[in-house]
Structure 1
Amino acid sequence: MVAPMRDSPCQASVSENLSEAKVRLLYSSGDAAHDFDHVLRVTRLGVRIAQAEGADDEIVRAAALLHDLPVSGSGRSVHHLAAADFAAEILRAAGMDAHRIEKVVHCIQAHRYRDRSIQPQTLEAKCLYDADKLDSIGAIGVARAFAHAGNHGSRLWTEPVADAPPDHAQPDGPEYTPVHEYVYKLRRILATLYTPSAREIGKRRHRFMSRFYEQLDAEMTGRLPLSPPYNR
């Protein structure tokens, strides 16, 4: 019988320094769409996907816990790059070896939907991307979209004048509603998922989300049958 492998002192140190309780202290509150609850959901789902797909779940766990680190002076458009740099500092201090730090950094750099200049190149990066994007669709995705709208003073609903906002549209302010976010981004998430495990989860979430926005449109306008862009 083979004896179970035990963590090396270095691995144990990394795990201890990346406990949920310690990492929570790095995050600020106030944004329900990007708070530590989001981080925990992504972490747990990312580990689940990694284990199903045969990826290194410790890399995915570290990347997920650190993927939304708040960095002073960095806006949402570059937060993935700033968070990756901050994560590297934290992991070096925790004793993680350089090669594994590079893997975590790549995961974080490649997780953003609106900046596809860095594509996930590893299975671990694909697992993080999938977990983070799954948290933007389904029931929790709907809740997050409306929480974000409330934070930025947006209206709850307005009918998009075109099939989608322009690519340079910013996802905040009164003219960018959760409906715009659904049309511009959320309805497209399922097609971008990498892993079979995530796509299976995503199908159910996408179906629920689509029906919600269809129902919202129907209630707001009283218009039946439903018109594009809400039809699946």
Structure 2
Amino acid sequence: MAQRLAAAEDADLQAVELIAALHDVKDFKFTGDDMSGAREAERWLLEQSASSELATLVASNIAGISFKGAGTQTKPLTIEGKCVQDADRLDAVGAIGVARCFAYGGTRERPIHDPATTAAYHSTTEQYLNHQGTSINHFYEKLLLLKDRMNTQAAKNLATKRHAFMETYLQQFFDEWEARS
């Protein structure tokens, strides 16, 4: 998807491929350090004899790609970073996004749904990382917000359809939960 968006945006394909391949290395969600992935990517690229300009470009984009809470500040990205961020976000919405949401929630032993637990608006990365809500609330805390956070027109077009699918899914979920369907 990142390659597809890069072609539509006339972005540097090599940079997009490297950002896409390396953006989840030492992910902050697991290390707790916002810059761990960027540092590791830059170190590795330099070790592979990449130019310092390319290594810096890749690292600076990796530092800003991940969603870190609805109210957190985002780092500026180049068009290459925007293509990868959009591809990453597109993976989180739609049918695959629904599957990923519940798979991740299961690994964290999160309940699927609890009507007494309200969705949280995270204004800091720490709040986002430490929150132990439900999988259904994650739709409202992140997934349904992504459509309006796409950078490229191609991603916006794809996100609209995927967003609609999630809304339909949630309506069906709540209909079944309330025994209306």
Give yes or no for TM over 0.5: yes
Q: Which residue does 1:199 correspond to in 2?
A: 156
Amino acid at match of 1:193: M
Query: How well do the aligned residues superpose, as a CA RMSD in angstroms?
Result: 2.1
Cα deviation 1:168-219 (Å, max 9, x = unaligned)? 354664xx11111001111110000010011111111111111111111110
CA contact (8 A) 2:29 2:129 kept: no
Instruction: Give the Cα–Cα distance (whole angstroms) in 2 for the partners of residues 200 and 171 of structure 1.
Output: 32
Q: 1:117 to 1:77 in 2, by over 3 A?
A: farther
Cα distance, 1:128 vs. partner?
A: 1.2
- 8 Å contact 1:68–1:80 — kept in the other structure? no
- Among the aligned pairs, what percent are the same residue? 28
What's the TM-score once normalised by structure 2's chain length? 0.87
Verify the 8 A CA contact 1:127 1:195 in the aligned structure 2: yes
Structure 2: which amino acid aligns with 1:165? A
1:113 is matched by which residue type in structure 2?
F
1:138 aligns with one of 87, 94, 97: 94
- 1:165 matched to 2:124? The reply is no
Task: Name the aligned partner's letter for residue 58 of structure 1.
Answer: Q
Give the distance between the partners of 2:73 and 2:95, measured in 1 at CA. Answer: 29
Whether contact under 8 Å (1:193, 1:199) holds in the other structure is: yes
In structure 1, list runs of 5 or more residues that go unmatched. 1-44, 225-232
Cα distance in 2, alignment partners of residues 79 and 56 from structure 1: 28
Which runs of structure 2 are paired with 1:1-232 in the superposition (5 Å)? 45-70=1-26, 75-76=29-30, 78=32, 80-114=34-68, 116-159=72-115, 161-162=117-118, 164-167=119-122, 168=127, 170=129, 173=132, 176-223=133-180
Distance of 1:70 and 1:77 partners within structure 2: 6
Deviation of the 1:119 alpha carbon:
2.2
Q: 1:9 corresponds to which residue?
A: none
* Shift, 1:47, TM fit: 1.1
Q: May I ask how many residue pairs the two structures share in their alignment?
A: 175
| Amino acid of the structure 2 residue aligned with 1:104 | V
SS of the residue 2:35 aligns to: helix
Larger radius of gyration, structure 1 or 2?
A: 1
Gaps of 5+ in 2: none
Distance in 2 separating the partners of 1:60 and 1:75: 22
Q: Secondary structure at the match of 2:154?
A: helix
Could you state the TM-score of these two structures normalised by the residue count of structure 1?
A: 0.69
Q: For 1:171 and 1:138, how far apart are their aligned partners in 2?
A: 25
Q: CA deviation at 1:160?
A: 5.7
The equivalent residue for 1:4 is none
For 1:77 and 1:192, the matched residues in 2 are separated by 25
User: Relative CO higher for 1 or 2, CA cutoff 8 Å, sep ≥ 6?
Assistant: 2
CA distance in 2 between counterparts of 1:75 and 1:56 reads: 28
Q: Are 2:68 and 2:128, in contact at CA under 8 Å, matched by a contact in 1?
A: no
Quote how far apart the aligned CAs of 1:109 are.
0.6
